[in-house]
A and B are shown apart, each in its own frame.
Chain A
Amino acid sequence: MSRGKIVAAALAPHPPHLVYAENPPQNEPVSECGWENLRWAYERMRANLDKLDYDVIVILSPHWQTYVGTHFLGLDNFKSLSVDPVFPNLFRYHYDIDVDVELARAIHDEAAADGLAVKMMENPDFRVDYGTITSCHLTRPQWDKPIVCISSNRSRQYYSVEVMQEMTAQLGRATARAIEKSGKRALVLASNSLSHRHFVTESDIPEDMSKEHITSHHLYLWDMKMIELLRSGRTREAHDLMPEFTEQAMSETDGGGLTWLLAALDYPEYEAIVHGYGTIIGTGNAIIEWPCHAQEGGE
């Protein structure tokens, strides 16, 4: 068996607004339009990823929040209706997801060996979180790849951003090792936005783009700072800045996704592709691809 590898990775935020605006058949609400800059950015990333051959999507979502360790979906298939608890008017999505339980357990075991608290989720009534569904839909709407779904351990809330960094970086390294040992080719997704201060009111027409902007200028500056570090390959600086960024920008990086991704990639120094940046109900969102395959002579 050849060694597995991460063929690409992406920062793939999960605002349900993007699915809502796209009107896929799985989603019940219907929209006119909206957030095209980000949806087109996802389109560009999909075009790149479609050229790659990969076996599995490995995703860490901040909307499966666990406080007792890190959890992994542990059954072959989950099929149900996901209703966003915050935006139920926008996201009521019928999903049918296959899980790569073998790889999930392999990552679980690697993480456990590193001393992390981990648990497999094997309750068939469990509903997959809408963050995972949204990011996977926007990245691979065909749903033809199994996923490994990893929960967001809320160590940032329990301890600090620094502790979160340590734990999720460890998880990232364990993830990379497990993928390598599995022989599989993986796409790795961190499902989180950047600055994360929402508006607390909603327009009568949610897709009214005349109302969409960043919540405040300082959050925009933070987002640009972080994006610049990522796109220019200064990912260790990004890692080091993460605690301050997370606190100052109230960033969804508090869920550990981006830290985990950078650690899994062993802090890439090559340029990332920023497909787009935009705001959704005031939060800052960037769609960024790390073309790992290109660093090995291309696909």
Chain B
Amino acid sequence: MSGEVVMSAVVPVHPHPLLAAKENVGWQNLANAYEELRQRIITSGAETLVIYSTTWPSIIGHQLINDPNPKWTLVDDDFHDLGSLPYDFSVDVEFADAWNDANKERGLTSRGINYHGFPIDVGSVVAVSLLNPDNRWPVSIVSSNVYSNRAETIVLAKSCLAAIERTGRKVAVICAMSLSNRMFTEPIEAKDDRIHSLKDDEWNRKILEFLGQGRLEDVAQLSRQIHTQVRVQKVVSFKPMWFLSGVNGQNNNLIGEVLAYEALHGAGGAVVHLLPDPNPSGDKEYDEDDVEYYSGDRDVLAGDGEAQDVGGENPESDDGKHGEEVGEGDSHDRGTVQSSAGAGDGAIAVKGASQYITGGGGGTVERTVMINTDSAPKPVGAYPHARRVGDLLYLSGVGPRQAGSDEIPGGAIKNGSGQSQDYDIKAQTRACIENVKTILEAAGSSLEKVQDITVFLVDMERDFAGYNEIYAEYFTTIGATRTTLAITALPTPIAVEMKVIALS
């Protein structure tokens, strides 16, 4: 049993494509795009539809429908004259319950909703009606908390992933949402519908440009800006992109396609299809920190000192503690999330380097800092250039590639066809040490503070002497301990790589 997110999508929330498609070409385009998306869900092999709807606001944490068969007739508060929206669909109760459990384990307030006549929101009803008219799939619908911000929403997404894993479901995740959500405040003729303003339209197109490139996390990073620029301030934030990116691993490794973008009484409505990219570039441009557990920042019921134990279910914590201290402060504020973006560590100030304090996935975490710099070659995987732990700096393996161009001084050891070719080990070694020096300096250290080096050579017999000569130029007076190993290959066509530990 292996659950996974097989695809994701963005769909609009207004009822026009469902109830009045024929009245406007754009609304019909959206209806057609819904149908195209439905076909793609069929192809995806999805077993359950997860719907995160921005038109279901909640206050007491998040709510999940676990009524096995919601059935009612909805009428939109504004567009009641377009007609009624009867619904009758199946809910994946096992999945909803697993998600609810996972929410609680991660510190979220959460509850299942199983009441006859509960008002399923318009965004969910429209999505279910157009994507799932024949009840092919059971669905799981979650609310959008009015007060929640990024950390809470990201954790909600991770709980969803936990439910996917536990149930083994293959899931299509649907975000029912508008892009810009400013409608015309007066009735308009259907034929006159258009995006409310040029500014809204420009922002919508920028969002869709990113989504079309699969840059989901980049859009998520822009969520607050999007909310400020093109959202009517009904709720705290523009959250759906945080959720959608969260269930997709918070990266840009997706293949996106915009199936339609149209106006819905002035608001921006789009149907977007997102698939995991089987050949991800690893090109991560985002910079916000990751969050594993939610500790709560609004524990107002415990005002008399009865702090609620939101940390006791942390599976990775021996002592049940959750809140993390960052920086040198003495605050034990339960409101801190498990990791936060550089907060409080004023001692770290490095030009050209991005640094952030990070936690260790729960429990009491040590003060560690990840370090990256644009002046060193881009990592080829999900790792930083260096990490500071206490007074020590640990560098990831550093090769000779040049920052920006990936050019290898002294030449690559193989050509594009995989054939071996001549190269200059001295030039590669020198470039390698210069890269080490760059990273150390970006972290506020220097080559002189290196304590230990492990060197990897792909051809010891051929290269040791040349490498050793250049090495001596830099390190004779430093006197770091050293180990040199012969290995069969490195990830890129280079001959030498160094692993370094230094004082910070």
- State the A residues within 8 Å of B (CB): 64-69, 71, 80-81, 83, 85-89, 92, 117, 119, 121-123, 125-127, 151, 153-155, 157-158, 198-203, 211, 213, 215, 282
Contact = CB atoms under 8 A, between A and B. Distances in A.
Given A125-B75, A127-B75, A119 B301 contact: no
B186 A117 contact: yes
B60 to A, nearest CB: 5
Contacts of A202: 60, 109
A87 B113 CA distance: 10
Nearest to A153: B185
B300 A215 contact: yes
Contacts of A282: 300
A298 B101 CA distance: 60
B119 A85 contact: yes
Contact of A67 (B61, B118, B183): B183
Interface string B92-130: 000000000000000001000101111101000000000
A92 B84 CA distance: 21
Contacts of B118: 83, 85, 88
A213 B77 CA distance: 32
B60 A200 contact: yes
A138 to B, nearest CB: 21
A207 B185 CA distance: 40
Nearest to A65: B77
A215 B302 CA distance: 11
Interface string B253-272: 00000000000010000000
A151 B301 CA distance: 32
A65 B77 CA distance: 7
B150 to A, nearest CB: 16
B234 A154 contact: yes
B187 interface: yes
B129 to A, nearest CB: 15
A200 B147 contact: yes
A68 B188 CA distance: 9
B187 A126 contact: no
List of 6 A-B pairs having minimum Cβ-Cβ separation, nearest first: A123-B80, A117-B186, A125-B84, A126-B75, A81-B117, A125-B73
B52 interface: no
The bracket for how many chain B residues form the interface is 35 or more
Nearest to A215: B300
Contacts of A215: 300
B489 interface: no
A198 B59 contact: yes
A117 B77 CA distance: 15
Interface in B138-190: 145, 147, 182-187
Nearest to B265: A68
B186 A88 contact: no
B149 to A, nearest CB: 12
B91 to A, nearest CB: 15
Nearest to A28: B115
B115, B147, B184, B299 pick with most chain A CB within 10 angstroms: B115
B56 interface: yes
B415 interface: no
A86 B60 CA distance: 7
A198 B232 CA distance: 21
Given A81-B117, A83-B119, A151-B77, A69 B186 contact: yes
A117 B185 contact: yes
Contacts of B191: none
A157 B182 CA distance: 10
29 contacts: A67-B78, A67-B185, A68-B185, A68-B187, A68-B265, A69-B186, A83-B115, A92-B117, A117-B185, A117-B186, A119-B187, A123-B81, A125-B73, A125-B74, A125-B75, A125-B84, A126-B75, A127-B75, A157-B232, A157-B233, A157-B234, A199-B60, A200-B61, A200-B147, A200-B298, A202-B60, A203-B301, A213-B303, A282-B300
B113 A66 contact: no
A199 B300 contact: yes
B197 interface: no
Nearest to B60: A202
A64, A67, A121, A123 pick with most chain B CB within 10 angstroms: A67
A123 B145 contact: no
A202 B145 CA distance: 14
Contacts of B233: 157
A69 B308 CA distance: 43
A218 to B, nearest CB: 14
Nearest to A85: B119
B325 to A, nearest CB: 24
Contacts of B84: 123, 125
Interface in B186-205: 186-187
Nearest to A123: B80
B187 A117 contact: yes
B185 A69 contact: yes
B101 to A, nearest CB: 17
A267 B37 CA distance: 55
B396 interface: no
A66 B77 contact: yes
B254 to A, nearest CB: 32
A266 to B, nearest CB: 26
Contacts of B78: 66-68, 71
B501 to A, nearest CB: 45
